[in-house]
């Protein structure tokens, strides 16, 4: 809010856990495995079902070498080979079907988990207190809800279950090898130990590189979010090259971390492939000697080699799955950082929404009682024992130099911040005793830089009043002088307004925001410099609109242009966070030097 908000750290320095206390909290935070268990808990039965099907498919794979052995043995006899061949085919098809069903079940479960995680994260982000939201990097937050949850899907659908089933299948395959030939089994295990040792050493480095890569992607998102949110400013000031360089720097950091993770993953894969090749050649050489010495039959050797072929991809798959799991655990920890952020206790309204109507029926009374407020990162008080009373109904204006505390007072009324000391009451009830949903349903707020979202006029007006009738929409459009604009548009209320209202002028966006606020039937309407973007004719029209609204509701206006509020019922002059004077325009011109100076500085006729 102009003039009153605290200075914020640079975008790149806003983190989810700033300060030593937050760092200590992060150190005490649960580990990735504990957090993963929390995500799994609601879908444990479905994960077990998918894992069981996958395991059964793997067991069918374990039977295949034995079925192949039976088929080979039947080739040297007069018995029919049809039955062993059909048995082998049945085992193979059963394994394929069970694996397919298990994989599909796990994919469905993972998608459900991701949907739930994204819904929870989105709800949590939208309930962040304004004080916390201002210091966070919005692009990084979006990255956590999108790309990090994709890694969560991979960790659940592939890595976790694949790791567990691969371990069981490898153990089963090795047991079968030992049963066939203990000597060859021992030689195989000796070679395969080469897989585990390098992987155990390299996988923590994969996790570290993955966390760094995901943080760099979040930084890239923050750079782009800032640039696209201020696109005209970037263009007008020739900042394309500078912003491109910032994006390239973040992209390079993500690339370096990704390359490090890929290096360690590739190293694990190469060592495992080498170990498997050596194991295969060792078994082949030793086994051939045993066959030549008539110590092992050809069918046993072929069966043993089939088990080795069965185990080999499982080990490679296991290394890849554990690497992916490390990435998923890193993503889960980043997701958990959002889940640990404090949120507003926003209870739903009961009933959910009041009937839409463009005019309220019961104006509210507002009072500040010795209110003090200081921003956490700013020395001194912004409001210093501010005491004032706003009676129900009528137009009250807040005026004063920049930094006097006007916008901060609005932020406290909306409970974006809480007073450091003192209290604010609405209808004699402390704002802290109001449920937030109920409070904000009674208070309409229109910012100076009015926000219009992508969509149509209708969608923007009905954001907070989804039950508004066509009559209500046209009435608020007439009140805010939008009716003439809509009449000239071929689609009327259904005309798109562009991304962030790009198709509208500043004044049109302001009027859309006021109309939207009126549809909520606020008992107290806060307008922060409502005519800042209007030309003289539209400013006069909007002054008439505000005057009409103030006959049936309480309207509180921040005005830097004295002409905007010269006809207000009462004008409150703020200076250095204190109430300096109260009166009408003519009274203040006669009695208050500061007000007179402000008016003369704007060449207002006095």
CATH number, domain 366-601: 3.40.50.300
pLDDT band of 308, cuts 50, 70, 90: confident
Is residue 19 over pLDDT 50? no
**What is the per-residue pLDDT for 235?**
65
**What is the per-residue pLDDT for 334?**
78
List phi, psi (to 5°) of 251: -65, -40
Mean pLDDT of 83-111: 79
Tokens 């901060």: give the residue.
408
**What is the per-residue pLDDT for 156?**
66
**What is the per-residue pLDDT for 315?**
72
Instruction: List the alpha helices (DSSP H) in 462-592.
Output: 470-479, 483-487, 506-518, 536-549, 562-565, 585-591
Is residue 445 over pLDDT 70? yes
Domain ranges of the chain: 19-339, 366-601
**What is the per-residue pLDDT for 451?**
74
Is residue 27 over pLDDT 50? no
Mean pLDDT of 109-121: 80
Is residue 76 over pLDDT 70? no
- Residue with the bigger pLDDT between 206 and 379: it is 379
Which of 264, 255, 163, 269 lies closest to 206 in space, CA to CA? 264
7-21, 373-387, 534-548: range with lowest mean pLDDT: 7-21
Q: What percentage of the chain reaches a pLDDT higher than 70?
A: 76
Mean pLDDT of 561-575: 86
**What is the per-residue pLDDT for 572?**
93
**What is the per-residue pLDDT for 225?**
67
pLDDT band of 228, cuts 50, 70, 90: low
**What is the per-residue pLDDT for 604?**
56
Mean pLDDT of 234-254: 73
Check for a shared fold between 19-339 and 366-601.
no
Residues contacting 331, CB < 8 A, separation 6+: 147, 148, 149, 151, 152, 155, 210, 214
Mean pLDDT of 345-357: 49
CB 142 within 8 A of CB 221: yes
Is residue 484 over pLDDT 50? yes
User: Cα(first)–Cα(last) distance of the chain, in Å?
Assistant: 30
**What is the per-residue pLDDT for 199?**
63
Q: What is the model's pTM?
A: 0.65
CATH topology of domain 19-339: ABC transporter transmembrane region fold (1.20.1560)
Residue 510: both structure tokens together: 């302001």
Q: What is the mean pLDDT of the chain?
A: 75
Q: Is 511 helix (H, G, I), strand (E, B) or coil?
A: helix
Mean pLDDT of 473-492: 81
Is residue 35 over pLDDT 90? no
Mean pLDDT of 148-164: 71
CB 382 within 8 A of CB 4: yes
Is residue 430 over pLDDT 90? yes
Q: What percentage of the chain reaches a pLDDT higher than 90?
A: 9
**What is the per-residue pLDDT for 409?**
93
Is residue 78 over pLDDT 50? yes
């Amino acid at each position: 809010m102009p003039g009153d908000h605290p200075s914020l750290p640079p975008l790149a320095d806003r983190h989810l856990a700033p300060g030593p206390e937050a760092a200590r909290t992060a150190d005490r935070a649960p580990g990735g495995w504990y957090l993963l268990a929390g995500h799994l808990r609601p879908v444990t039965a479905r994960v077990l079902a998918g894992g069981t099907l996958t395991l059964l498919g793997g067991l069918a794979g374990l039977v295949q070498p034995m079925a192949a052995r039976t088929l080979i043995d039947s080739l040297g006899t007069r018995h029919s080979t049809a039955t062993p061949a059909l048995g082998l085919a049945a085992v193979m098809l059963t394994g394929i079907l069970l694996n397919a069903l298990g994989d599909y079940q796990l994919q469905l479960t993972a998608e459900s988990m991701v949907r739930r995680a994204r819904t929870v994260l989105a709800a949590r982000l939208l309930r962040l207190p304004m004080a916390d939201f201002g210091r966070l990097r919005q692009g990084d937050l979006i990255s956590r809800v999108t790309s990090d949850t994709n890694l969560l899907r991979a960790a659940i659908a592939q890595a976790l279950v694949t790791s567990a089933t691969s371990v069981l299948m490898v153990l089963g395959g090795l047991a079968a090898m030992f049963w066939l030939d203990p000597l060859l089994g021992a030689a195989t295990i000796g070679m395969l130990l080469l897989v585990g040792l390098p992987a155990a050493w390299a996988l923590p480095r994969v996790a570290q590189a993955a966390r760094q890569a995901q943080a760099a992607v979040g930084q890239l998102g923050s750079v782009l979010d800032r640039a696209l949110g201020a696109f005209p400013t970037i263009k007008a000031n020739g900042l394309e090259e500078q912003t491109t360089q910032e994006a390239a720097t973040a992209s390079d950091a993500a690339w370096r971390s990704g390359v490090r993770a890929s290096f360690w993953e590739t190293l694990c894969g190469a060592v495992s492939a080498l170990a498997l090749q050596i194991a295969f050649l060792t078994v082949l050489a030793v086994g051939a000697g045993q066959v030549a010495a008539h110590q092992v039959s050809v069918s046993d050797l072929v069966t043993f080699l089939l088990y080795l072929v069965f185990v080999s991809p499982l080990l490679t798959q296991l290394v890849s799955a554990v690497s992916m799991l490390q990435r998923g655990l890193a993503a889960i920890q980043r997701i958990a950082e959002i889940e640990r952020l404090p949120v507003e206790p926003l209870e739903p309204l009961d009933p959910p929404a009041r009937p839409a109507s463009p005019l309220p029926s019961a104006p509210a009374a507002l009072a500040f009682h010795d209110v003090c407020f200081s921003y956490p990162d700013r020395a001194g008080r912004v409001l210093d024992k501010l005491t004032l009373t706003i009676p129900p109904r009528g137009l009250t204006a807040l005026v004063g130099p920049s930094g006097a505390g006007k916008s901060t007072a609005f932020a406290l009324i909306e409970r974006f911040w809480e007073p450091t000391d003192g209290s604010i009451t609405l209808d004699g009830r402390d704002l802290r005793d109001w449920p937030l949903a109920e409070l904000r349903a009674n208070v309409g707020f229109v910012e100076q830089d009015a926000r219009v979202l992508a969509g149509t006029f209708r969608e923007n007006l009905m954001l907070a009043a989804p039950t508004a009738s066509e009559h209500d929409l046209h009435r608020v459009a007439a009140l805010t002088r939008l009716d003439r604009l809509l009449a000239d548009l071929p689609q009327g209320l259904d005309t798109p307004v562009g991304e962030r209202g790009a198709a509208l002028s500043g004044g049109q966006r302001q009027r859309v925001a006021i109309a939207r606020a009126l549809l909520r039937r606020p008992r107290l309407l806060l307008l922060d410099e409502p005519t800042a973007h209007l030309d003289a004719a539209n400013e006069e029209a909007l002054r008439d609109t505000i005057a009409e609204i103030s006959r049936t509701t309480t309207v509180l206006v921040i005005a830097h242009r004295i002409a905007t509020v010269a006809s207000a019922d009462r004008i409150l002059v703020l200076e250095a966070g204190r109430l300096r004077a109260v009166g009408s325009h003519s009274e203040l011109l006669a009695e208050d030097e500061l007000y007179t100076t402000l008016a003369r500085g704007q060449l207002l006729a006095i």
